[in-house]
Structure 1
Amino acid sequence: TFLKDEKGNPKARIFSVSYVKDAPEPNRPVTFLFNGGPGSGSLWLHMGAFGPKRVAIPNDGRDDGAPPYRLIDNPDSLLDVTDIVFIDPVGTGFSTALGDADPKEFWGVTKDAKSVAQFIRQWLSDNGRWNAPKFLGGESYGTTRTAAVANELEGTYNDVALNGLLLISTILDFGAQAEVPGNEMPYVLMVPSMA
């Protein structure tokens, strides 16, 4: 999907993978997912959590071995209840700035959120899904992106109403883990993991 400037020239390419029901239903829910990083593509959510197939890795802490990794059906995929769109924001996966566009135009919390929101609006228009229930989800830094994208989608004149947010491995308070004198929160937050 190409994001365009005011003159209609492509300024970025956003790569995505969409799983849409064979007989499209305009009111079927759609979920937009992305990873964090901030430089990580949606591969990890796609092949490790929500896609129709996932990489077969042991869930008991054993070494996952070496390639080639087997793919297996994913019983935990969300496809039984929603179409899924995995998004690689600019600078992740195969998504890049184009031409004379400086990649820094898309990097930063607000700039990143604006480009992802632009992609979502375009996807909804291209697929006739404005009336569908819409969900937004991210993992790790993607939870910060989720909050920022929700603001970009719902806080403007061409509002995209969201029905829900998925926050996976949440990190919304970067200061909580800051290693600065007097900040005891990193130790408090580690207690559940250490236990």
Structure 2
Amino acid sequence: MKLSALCSQMLSGEACDDIDSFFLEIDDFEEAALVSRTQRIDGLLARLGPRWTSAYLFSLCMHVLATVRIAGSARDPAGAKMFLALSFTDFELYAEEGVLLPNVFYYPGTEGIAFGARRWHESGSNTSTEIDTVRSVVEDAGLLAGFRFCESRTDGPPGYEVVRVFAIPMHGNEA
């Protein structure tokens, strides 16, 4: 099937093609880009257009996220303690090209769990243009019911705010 060849071409050389890398000792959070160079998606853009390329990349990144979750549970049957989410930071690319690139965001340990809880609590029921953009892509992928959304805003270079939107998968009896 050509889909599997496309997936391995897309992930070849990217951080997400090595699931073990999600379980290395890190001091803080890591964010693994599904696509590190936008030219790698030129073929998808030509075939699908920006809207459906974004939805395809989201669903592919969701597969990586689920694989990391399963691998963590297999390593530690008591349940790997880790905050896992899909994150989105490049809203300029979306404004220019109409494509939203997902990242796998992970933060291991109880610190990661606390980080995720803080993000969710601080964001509350607030919505923003960026959250609405991510929600639209998730809806196009047909996965809206399975996610919660929150954001983080931090100071970047002078006059620039860094916005990170998290799409957090709901598992089991979460609501």
Work out which of the two has the higher radius of gyration on C-alpha atoms and give 1 or 2.
1
Is the pair's TM-score, using the shorter chain for normalization, greater than 0.5? no
Query: Shorter-chain TM-score: which interval?
Result: 0.3 to 0.5
Q: TM-score, normalised by structure 2?
A: 0.40
Q: Specify which structure has the higher proportion of helix.
A: 2
Q: TM-score, normalised by structure 1?
A: 0.37
